Chain A
């Protein structure tokens, strides 16, 4: 599903965020990406989302070298990746329902069908009863679940998450991770950047460890 081939990323010609990255993630796999802050976890996710291009090497997603995508094709590529952000990236002037339906609106899904799918996604994250609320009325953990519902509402084949449990207490974090495992169980490839080592060690999935932009360990690979 994802292949990094000799990938390097420099910012401003000097700072080397990523260097000599080589790894593959199979379709349907669930992978954690870990390392100290500044190790390059977010940069790596940004490369997969095609927010940036690698300075060296190739990033191949589903058989395509995504650096080759034309700018006009990038939005269509992004629609197939669900992304959960650390800071949720919700729109605060819209209801939970509208936030979750945003990807469907962008794709032009027919409203009745969209409403059905939004409610299904909200039900999955246990927030169906809050669909009319505004994000500001929700707790941090609930906001994160809205972010997850938005990421999965159009059934992406790849789900990325950047520190999804960043500011949550252990119990909530475990709940969120369980949600990701559920999506992985139905075939979605999941990649989660997290520095909550205790939590991810318990979950027994493959762990990619980054340090100073290099891959220093690949544990639990199948």
Chain B
């Protein structure tokens, strides 16, 4: 008879089979069985938690006992994490830039030089009548000149001009910023009388976007690659520690340890490596940020802008730390599982 043929019997009762087949009182037995099952379950749960706690501490002490070697392992993990994380941060700041660009995606309608203010009013109304236009802003020739001077800082050179060479322009905010839709709107607006030229400055928005997309994919690919690197680093370290504790594993398997029991200390070691590596990576990112922030601020100031390097916020740090912990755990799991099958008690 197979033990699995009697599902109610707990796994451990295989050798006590004869007793359970002869129950003296049929109506009282199930109740008693249920209660003992319950206490057995809760005590087993407590034992499980106890083993987890003791293995977590045990593997932590093992790490602390050989600080240098383990620190090097964690540093390798940290370096593997810092590179994709830094790239991701850079892209994140580029994305902020991108969001600003979305708002400033506009068309500029340049009127003929001969157009006066009244004509400009009429054309603006016509433009506003287009269904795919969200809003417009009329910029007089003088306003245009002032903006031009401001943005280029060429006060002196432009002050020498006798007359204003700029036409009146209308800035149009389109409903859709899809290139095709904007192009179509542009040609519609260009057909209006009194309009000299419509300019869609989409090319560089597109370019920047493509660049950001490229960067995102590179970061993802690097992240995957370096994540694999972390798995390998942890896997290899755990493999060595499995080899050095091979005898111990054989012995405990001989006396009835489950695979989960044997695997547990190594999983905790792997997770600790991940935690340590993640913390070191956060530290490295902080140091790098501090080191670069001065020159970056100086550079931005020279362009009259203020820009600060992006930093990992709490969410980002949590994500990085959980990723590295998970990777460490997974690396250990792979290494131990691969070796468990090769461990045959003698």
Partner of B255 from the list A65, A73, A150 (CB cut-off 8 Å) is: A150
Interface code B329-345, partner A: CB below 8 Å = 1, 0 otherwise?
00000000000000011
Smallest CB–CB gap between A5 and chain B, Å?
A: 14
Interface code B253-264, partner A: CB below 8 Å = 1, 0 otherwise?
111111101000
**Size class of the B contact interface (CB-based, 8 Å):** 20 to 34
Residue in B4, B47, B255 whose Cβ sees the most chain A Cβ within 10 Å: B255
Smallest CB–CB gap between B39 and chain A, Å?
A: 12
Task: Mark out the residues of chain A between 16 and 68 whose CB falls within 8 Å of any chain B CB in the assembled complex.
Answer: 49, 51, 61-65, 68
Question: Do A64 and B14 touch across chains, with their CB atoms under 8 A apart?
Answer: yes
Smallest CB–CB gap between A146 and chain B, Å?
A: 13
Chain A: CB-nearest residue to B18? A63
Q: Which chain A residues border B43 with CB–CB below 8 Å? A: 108, 110
How far apart sit A77 and B345, CA to CA, in the bound complex (Å)? 15
Q: Which chain B residues border A51 with CB–CB below 8 Å? A: 254, 344-345
Q: Which chain B residues border A69 with CB–CB below 8 Å? A: 2-3
Smallest CB–CB gap between A1 and chain B, Å?
A: 8
Question: Do B3 and A78 touch across chains, with their CB atoms under 8 A apart?
Answer: no
Q: Which chain A residues border B253 with CB–CB below 8 Å? A: 75
Given the known interface contacts A83-B254, A83-B255, A107-B256, the answer about A76 and B12 at a Cβ–Cβ threshold of 8 Å is: yes
Chain B: CB-nearest residue to A78? B256
Q: How many residues in A have their beta carbons less than 8 Å from beta carbons of B?
A: 36
Question: Do A103 and B256 touch across chains, with their CB atoms under 8 A apart?
Answer: yes
Interface code B1-43, partner A: CB below 8 Å = 1, 0 otherwise?
1111000000110111110000000000000000000000001
Q: Does B48 contact A (CB under 8 A)?
A: yes
Chain B: CB-nearest residue to A108? B47
Interface code B231-260, partner A: CB below 8 Å = 1, 0 otherwise?
000000000000000011011111111110
Q: Does B199 contact A (CB under 8 A)?
A: no
Smallest CB–CB gap between B344 and chain A, Å?
A: 8
Question: Do B14 and A80 touch across chains, with their CB atoms under 8 A apart?
Answer: yes
Q: Does A91 contact B (CB under 8 A)?
A: yes
Q: Does A158 contact B (CB under 8 A)?
A: yes
Q: Does B50 contact A (CB under 8 A)?
A: yes
Chain B: CB-nearest residue to A63? B17
Q: Does B122 contact A (CB under 8 A)?
A: no
Chain B: CB-nearest residue to A99? B251
Task: Mark out the residues of chain A between 74 and 124 whose CB falls within 8 Å of any chain B CB in the assembled complex.
Answer: 75-80, 83, 85, 89-91, 93, 102-103, 105-111
Q: Does B51 contact A (CB under 8 A)?
A: yes
Interface code B39-60, partner A: CB below 8 Å = 1, 0 otherwise?
0000110111011000000000
Question: Do A108 and B256 touch across chains, with their CB atoms under 8 A apart?
Answer: no
Smallest CB–CB gap between A11 and chain B, Å?
A: 13
Q: Does A157 contact B (CB under 8 A)?
A: yes
Question: Do A61 and B11 touch across chains, with their CB atoms under 8 A apart?
Answer: no
How far apart sit A90 and B257, CA to CA, in the bound complex (Å)? 15
Q: Does A171 contact B (CB under 8 A)?
A: no
Question: Do B2 and A80 touch across chains, with their CB atoms under 8 A apart?
Answer: no
Question: Do A64 and B47 touch across chains, with their CB atoms under 8 A apart?
Answer: no
Question: Do B17 and A62 touch across chains, with their CB atoms under 8 A apart?
Answer: yes
Question: Do B257 and A75 touch across chains, with their CB atoms under 8 A apart?
Answer: yes
How far apart sit A68 and B2, CA to CA, in the bound complex (Å)? 7
How far apart sit A105 and B264, CA to CA, in the bound complex (Å)? 13
Q: Which chain A residues border B251 with CB–CB below 8 Å? A: 89-91, 102
Given the known interface contacts A63-B18, A73-B3, A79-B12, the answer about A110 and B252 at a Cβ–Cβ threshold of 8 Å is: no
Q: Which chain A residues border B345 with CB–CB below 8 Å? A: 51
Q: Which chain B residues border A105 with CB–CB below 8 Å? A: 51
Given the known interface contacts A64-B2, A75-B256, the answer about A91 and B17 at a Cβ–Cβ threshold of 8 Å is: no
Given the known interface contacts A51-B345, A63-B1, A68-B2, the answer about A158 and B15 at a Cβ–Cβ threshold of 8 Å is: yes
A residues touching B (Cβ–Cβ < 8 Å)? 49, 51, 61-65, 68-70, 72-73, 75-80, 83, 85, 89-91, 93, 102-103, 105-111, 150, 157-158
